[in-house]
Amino acid sequence: MARFHRLRVAAVDRLTDDSVALTLTVPPRLREEYRYAPGQHLALRRTADGEEIRRTYSICSPAPDGEGPSTLRVGVRLVEGGAFSTYALKEIDLGDELEVMTPAGRFTLPPAPGRYAAVVGGSGITPVLSIVSTLLAREPDARFCLIRSDRTAASTMFLEEVADLKDRYPERFQLVTVLSREEQQAGLPSGRLDQERLTGLLPALLPVGQVDGWFLCGPYGLVEGAERALRGLGVARSRIHQEIFHVDAGTATVTTATAPAHSTVTARLDGRGGTWPVQAGESLLDTVLRNRPDAPYACKGGVCGTCRAFLVSGEVRMDRNFALESEETEAGYVLACQSRPVTERVELDFDR
Interface with ligand FES by CB under 6 A: which residues?
297-307, 323, 335, 337
Decide whether 161 or 243 has the Cβ nearer to ligand FES.
243
Buried b (16+ CB within 10 A) or exposed e, 319-340: bbbbbbbeebeeeebbbbbbbb
Least distance to ligand FES from the beta carbon of 104, Å?
9
DSSP alpha helix (H) spans, the chain: 83-90, 125-138, 159-168, 195-205, 220-232, 284-291, 326-331
Least distance to ligand FES from the beta carbon of 155, Å?
26
Least distance to ligand FES from the beta carbon of 340, Å?
13
Decide whether 84 or 158 has the Cβ nearer to ligand FES.
84
Least distance to ligand FES from the beta carbon of 336, Å?
6
Least distance to ligand FES from the beta carbon of 222, Å?
19
Least distance to ligand FES from the beta carbon of 153, Å?
32
Least distance to ligand FES from the beta carbon of 70, Å?
28
Decide whether 8 or 45 has the Cβ nearer to ligand FES.
45
Least distance to ligand FES from the beta carbon of 1, Å?
15
Decide whether 207 or 250 has the Cβ nearer to ligand FES.
250
**By the 8 A CB rule, do 316 and 278 touch?**
no
Whole-angstrom Cα distance, residue 51 to residue 45?
10
Decide whether 193 or 299 has the Cβ nearer to ligand FES.
299
CA distance to 222, 267, 273, 274, 333, per residue, from 270 (Å) = 37, 10, 8, 11, 17
CA distance to 256, 257, 261, 338, per residue, from 317 (Å) = 8, 6, 15, 8
Whole-angstrom Cα distance, residue 39 to residue 271?
27
**By the 8 A CB rule, do 18 and 155 touch?**
yes
Whole-angstrom Cα distance, residue 4 to residue 26?
12
- For residue 90, with 0-12 CB atoms within 10 Å meaning exposed, 13-18 middle and 19 or more buried, which class applies? exposed
Decide whether 132 or 307 has the Cβ nearer to ligand FES.
307
Side-chain-side CA neighbours of 186 within 13 Å: the count stands at 0
Q: By Cβ distance, which residue is nearest to ligand FES? A: 337
Whole-angstrom Cα distance, residue 127 to residue 79?
18
Decide whether 41 or 172 has the Cβ nearer to ligand FES.
41
Decide whether 121 or 302 has the Cβ nearer to ligand FES.
302
Least distance to ligand FES from the beta carbon of 259, Å?
19
C-alpha dihedral (150, 153, 156, 162), degrees to nearest 10: 110
| CA angle, residues 158, 159, 163, in degrees to nearest 5 | 115
**By the 8 A CB rule, do 73 and 64 touch?**
no
Residues 6+ apart with CB under 8 A from 281: none
C-alpha distance across the termini of the chain, in Å: 10
Least distance to ligand FES from the beta carbon of 338, Å?
6
Decide whether 111 or 124 has the Cβ nearer to ligand FES.
124
Decide whether 55 or 148 has the Cβ nearer to ligand FES.
55
